[in-house]
Amino acid sequence: MTRWTEEQLAEYEARVRGARRLPVIDTSVRPFALPNNTAGAFALGRLPTGTMNKSETQYAEHLETLRAARAVLWWKFEGLKLRLADNTFYTPDFVVMPADCRIECHEVKGFWRDDARAKIKIAASIYPFRFLAVTKRRGGWDREEFS
């Protein structure tokens, strides 16, 4: 253990401070900031859980139309979470019960990413539900079934 006098300590601190030469920060320059997001131009992440995007909202309206016509008995947005493996889950956009009382999982997509397609295929191989992917097209919805 070293015992320094006050003068020795002050001399040491002056040497160390002089050797480090910390940069001077100019406080007059503002850091980078994104412009105000008034037009919704910056998507900085996914929507919160339980929030529908535009395509999902349109599909929910379509399901309500089918429910009024008694073709669909019940549906729920993000109503089911399926475990595919350790720390790997798949949450279908819609869980639907059509008039024949079978449970279906509907995925609304504008376009596919590889991981999403893989997850729905794995879920279809594990669980006894019917898995459908729907895509908005003029005048209706294109459907793709996974088994």
Whether residue 62 is predicted with pLDDT greater than 80 in this model: the reply is yes
Q: Which two tokens stand for residue 50?
A: 């339980």
Residue 35 lies in a domain: no
Is the model's pLDDT at 93 over the cut of 90?
Answer: yes
Quote the domain boundaries for residue 106: 54-146
Number of domains present in the structure of the chain? 1
pLDDT value at residue 147 = 81
Instruction: Summarize the confidence of residues 95-100 as an average pLDDT.
Output: 95
Is 49 part of any domain?
no
* CB contact set of 74 (below 8 Å; sequence gap of 6+): 67, 96, 97
In a domain, 47, yes or no: no
Residues 6 or more apart whose CB falls under 8 angstroms from that of 146 comprise 120, 121, 124, 131, 132, 133
Check residue 112 and give its pLDDT.
82
Taking 60 as the threshold, does the pLDDT of residue 132 lie above it? Answer: yes
What is d(CA 101, CA 71) in angstroms, rounded to the nearest whole number? 10
**Domain annotation covers residue 142:** yes
More confident residue, 38 or 115: 115
- Residue 132's CATH number: 3.40.1350.10
Tell me if 33 is assigned to some domain: no
Q: For residue 99, is it within any domain?
A: yes
